Structure 1
């Protein structure tokens, strides 16, 4: 079964504000996926406002640094692929200007390799799967960070 994820980078203040309320962020994207017309445009603008552009060059460099020597890895422009034949598993990461799109099949190990690299690049990466209703931060805020901002 194929797994599809979308990944966005949230503005730091939004990530802190919605810590523990990730379902609200997920439902914003879910609603955007369902509606059309002017309602879709309004939701798209809201999403643009709370998310940051993808630092494509930085991500390309980090992926190349971390995966360049891995035999199962290959890249073509903004598409990165890890295919592990022995595990019958494959993950494809596409880097766009506003989001990342990850498609995976087989072992969870292949997508985890991408997630591990991405979470070191940016602290507020939010990933979700519309089909599976799964969502969360790649790198959860530490409780002490959360408490520190609430005490200000």
Structure 2
């Protein structure tokens, strides 16, 4: 069974629009944070804190719960915002923290696609990163304005 872990951040709207098309810069910043220590980690932490917004935990939890109540079984772990979604062959574990959401997917690519599709209802600039496979992108793509 294939396992993937995603970290999902809520990027500030102005920052997201400014860096539209240059998403690799977000990936590189978060990747550096994971792999450095000391003063550099503290500096990068401040940069990440500046470009991200806190996750509205209850709102996102409700969106996830509503999106998957009919298709999947969900379990709320007491005392935290953890959600387990499973079907016959796939298992997803979602942990909602203050600054990010951790998504652990065990199973097919369909499971993560279904999850990402389900949380597109969230009104914000969610950016997902899979550090192990160097995959990243917007949960809901940013629409480019066309000027005539």
Unpaired runs of at least 5, structure 2: none
Measure, in 1, the Cα distance between the counterparts of 2:137 and 2:72: 30
Measure, in 2, the Cα distance between the counterparts of 1:39 and 1:75: 37
Regions of 4+ moved over 6 Å: none
**Higher helix proportion (structure 1 or 2):** 1
Report what 1:53 is aligned to.
54
The count of residues paired between Structure 1 and Structure 2 equals 145
Measure, in 2, the Cα distance between the counterparts of 1:143 and 1:70: 33
Measure, in 1, the Cα distance between the counterparts of 2:123 and 2:36: 30
Report what 2:44 is aligned to.
43
Report the TM-score when normalising by structure 2. 0.90
Greater Cα offset, 66-75 or 88-97: 66-75
Report what 1:98 is aligned to.
99
Unpaired runs of at least 5, structure 1: none
Shift of 1:70: 3.6
Report what 2:82 is aligned to.
79
Report the TM-score when normalising by structure 1. 0.88
Measure, in 2, the Cα distance between the counterparts of 1:92 and 1:46: 28
Structure-to-structure mapping, 1:1-152, within 5 angstroms: 1-76=2-77, 77-85=80-88, 88-144=89-145, 147=146
RMSD: 1.6
Shift of 1:123: 2.9
